[in-house]
Amino acid sequence: MEILRERYELSCGRIREIEAEQEVAAQYRDYFKKVAAFILLVARSCDDRDNRKKVTGLEALREENRMLYEDILGDNYAVSYANPTYACGKFGLDMGRLLAFLYTEIRAMIPYAFEQRYEDLVIRMELFVEIYNAFAYTQSEAELLTLPEKAAVPNTNDIRDTLYWFVSDYSETAASYRVRSLVDADCDFAVRIVEDSDLDDLRYLYQYGEYVSPDVEKMAQYLNSLPDERIRLMADTYTEGYRMGFEKAHVDLGKKKTVDLHYMLGFERVVRAAVANFARMGLKPTICRCENNIFAKSVVRKRGYFGADANRQFLYDHKDDIALFLDKKLVNRKLEVLKNAYEAVKEQAAVYAGPAVIEVFGELPFAPESKDEACSLDAEQQKMSAELKGASQNIVSSYINEEERSFTIIAFPVPGIGERFVEIFDETIRLNTLDYKTYERIQATIIDTLNKAAYVEVKGMNGNRTDLRVMLYPLSDPGKESIFENCVADVNIPVGEVFTSPVLEGTNGRLHVRRVFLNELEYHDLEIGFKDGMTTDYTCANFDSEEKNKAYIKANVLYHYDSLPIGEFAIGTNTTAYMTAKKYDIANLFPILIAEKTGPHFAVGDTCYSRSEEVRIYNEDGREVVAKDNAVSILRKTDPSKAYFACHTDITIPYDELGSIIAYGKDGAAYPIIEKGRFVLAGTEELNEPFEIC
């Protein structure tokens, strides 16, 4: 630690000199001056941490937070060196991308300053100095040779190589910390904020180093205004769902010691109550930061604790920065350090129970701008990225047995949802606590019918072009087996779906949704074709260019795979949630956790039972759910590298676009379940009541 402090002080001194001096070519002086000033601003946050906690007033903390993030806020981003369009306009495409990446990586220092993680600070400060020196040396050489100033630019490949070795060399440091903070309860930076702070004093929000928007403060204030019993209801629903997940899977929770909690700043009062509940189950919390750096990207699917997004376009612009460096050697390096990181904490990993997630919804929908200046993976890198994702998950699964862990997810709205926030929040609590016995009974009726079927046909209406035949698993013993799982409020809250892993062979047709939000990204007229259960073609209407539409889907739905299987077919039954969305006009804001319960949905990617196929699951009637594998996932027994994709994206058809769902038996008998957006199967009529009430 002493050596790190010395390196830190030396770096600060050199960066103060860089801020003051002008030893690089004129066109780069403003860049290095501004980035140096930003680093020193972050360093002051690190140095003032203890004083900030004790005496700094709320208004001063707000101002500090604003200064740290103002460069990418709102219109400021248009002239920020973090914006690849602006940087490339100043420095050209190749150098602009590299310097925009460097500044983005420097911006990742903010939370490290608040945690006083000196190594993560120092390696970025020293990288900045090294890049600056390359420019300064080139300028000096040019002056000695009396070359024109415009020639005083280092070779782009040399700058890229310096950045490449930073990414490669420090992959080990990043992986080690990330893995340890996931499974080791001694990594308790965020836990201490939750447990030790006076949550009525909003200054605690500024201890994290995350961006704190007015809505984050409003969220904390609102939860502080609720009575204790309301908070307990929220926390109990959340943690009981977690416990029930283990119970339903017949997994012994008593063998586990840690649970990692995911939440947005402002929810600390609920998290504190949940921590107490988990303690009674014998579990200690781990709370990781949702990081956004070259070593860990959480752009559209947040995992960990996180503040407000200062600028979602900024995050989107840099989601593929790894394209600057990704090659086979780096892939192997990342896999090696990930394995070493887990090996170092294998005992803690063995007793890790799984994630407990609080999602949020209500922020304005985000339709990203596609920028030519932003980095993108080429065809070969796309394949490497997909392989890296799958191989990384294989390593994780070798230390955290998927068959011995579980999870839960619950969602709540944030104030950004609008003036009726309080009403919507209350309604969401009601949705999260609906009587699961009622749904269990009705869904059992649907499953009884589906268990007679060989396939199901799903067709759209009102402009929806869906026309899809889904083949179902053939039962050997219908009295003891089930194709579909009866999903009540355990791991996925709220209640309301029956789901299965379809048979791929013979599953053909087209899936279409006029408007849908997947992992916080908006899609217009999303359409995907399937042949024998595998995606064939796909398109949307987000951009004028068909090439950009396809690239958008391939990157964010297919995760750079050439094709993915249908991993799930489900029928959502939560018509109450659907009509809540209609009543408040928030269907486009619902997270997939709730949206998937408001109509039939299909997932592309892994099955719902990925890596836990051997866990025996039973519906409440005692029948075992046996449709877990498909022709791809079954390869786990012969070639595991081809069985999994480490992705699963649900796409829901809303009831008002749903023409029909009809199950067909082997004898050709038709069993209508839904027609013209209404449940018509005998015993399911109660699900139509919310349509009439609202």
- Give per-residue pLDDT as tens, 263-312: 999 999 999 999 999 999 999 999 999 988 999 886 556 789 999 999 99
Q: Where are the alpha helices (DSSP H) in 501-644?
A: 546-556, 575-584, 592-595
Answer with the residue of higher pLDDT: 302 or 369. Answer: 369
503 and 403 co-located in one domain? no
pLDDT at 151: 57
Q: How many domains does the chain have?
A: 3
The predicted model gives 370-392 an average pLDDT of 92
- Give per-residue pLDDT as tens, 382-402: 999 989 988 999 999 999 998
136 and 188 co-located in one domain? no
140 and 186 co-located in one domain? no
The verdict on residue 196 lying in a domain is yes
339: tokens are 């394995």
Decide which of 120, 154, 188 is a domain's last residue: 154
656: tokens are 């008002």
pLDDT at 535: 98
What does the alpha-carbon distance between residue 77 and residue 60 come to, in Å, rounded to a whole number? 23
432: tokens are 């999260």
467 and 554 co-located in one domain? yes
276 and 147 co-located in one domain? no
The verdict on residue 162 lying in a domain is no
Q: Are 46 and 114 spatial neighbours (Cβ–Cβ below 8 Å)?
A: yes
What confidence tier does 55 reach under pLDDT thresholds 50, 70, 90? Answer: low
Helix H or strand E encompassing 10: helix 2-20
Q: Name 485's bridge partners.
A: 499
Rounded to 10 degrees, what is the CA torsion of 232, 305, 610, 491? 10
Decide which of 121, 154, 187 is a domain's last residue: 154
The verdict on residue 146 lying in a domain is yes
Q: Where are the alpha helices (DSSP H) in 325-466?
A: 328-344, 346-350, 379-399, 421-432, 436-450
Residues above pLDDT 70, as percent of the chain: 96
319 and 395 co-located in one domain? yes
What confidence tier does 436 reach under pLDDT thresholds 50, 70, 90? Answer: confident
pLDDT at 248: 82
150 and 193 co-located in one domain? no
- Give per-residue pLDDT as tens, 490-542: 778 999 999 999 999 999 999 999 999 888 788 999 999 999 999 999 999 99
Side chain identity, residue 574 = N
What does the alpha-carbon distance between residue 443 and residue 679 come to, in Å, rounded to a whole number? 12
pLDDT at 374: 97
485 and 567 co-located in one domain? yes
Q: Is the pLDDT of residue 611 over 90?
A: no
397 and 502 co-located in one domain? no
The verdict on residue 428 lying in a domain is no
The verdict on residue 625 lying in a domain is yes
The verdict on residue 167 lying in a domain is no
pLDDT at 592: 84
The verdict on residue 420 lying in a domain is no
Find the radius of gyration of the CA atoms of the chain.
26
276 and 134 co-located in one domain? no
Which residues constitute the domain of residue 79?
A: 2-154
Residues above pLDDT 90, as percent of the chain: 83
Q: Is the pLDDT of residue 488 over 90?
A: no
Which residues lie below 8 Å from residue 55, measured CB to CB, with a gap of 6+? none
pLDDT at 616: 87
Q: Are 121 and 173 spatial neighbours (Cβ–Cβ below 8 Å)?
A: no
Q: Where are the alpha helices (DSSP H) in 48-117?
A: 49-55, 58-69, 84-91, 93-107, 109-115
The predicted model gives 456-484 an average pLDDT of 97
The verdict on residue 172 lying in a domain is no
Decide which of 154, 187, 211 is a domain's last residue: 154
pLDDT at 308: 95
pLDDT at 297: 80
- Give per-residue pLDDT as tens, 561-603: 999 999 999 999 999 999 999 999 998 888 888 988 999 999 9
What does the alpha-carbon distance between residue 305 and residue 296 come to, in Å, rounded to a whole number? 14
pLDDT at 149: 57
Q: Is the pLDDT of residue 489 over 70?
A: no
What does the alpha-carbon distance between residue 590 and residue 178 come to, in Å, rounded to a whole number? 30
377 and 460 co-located in one domain? no
Q: Is the pLDDT of residue 49 over 80?
A: no
What confidence tier does 640 reach under pLDDT thresholds 50, 70, 90? Answer: confident
pLDDT at 567: 97
- Give per-residue pLDDT as tens, 413-429: 999 999 999 999 999 99
96 and 192 co-located in one domain? no
What does the alpha-carbon distance between residue 542 and residue 524 come to, in Å, rounded to a whole number? 6
pLDDT at 364: 81
Q: Are 257 and 278 spatial neighbours (Cβ–Cβ below 8 Å)?
A: no
Answer with the residue of higher pLDDT: 142 or 360. Answer: 360
Alpha-carbon distances, residue 153 vs 27, 95, 148, 159, 324 (angstroms)? 10, 10, 11, 10, 19
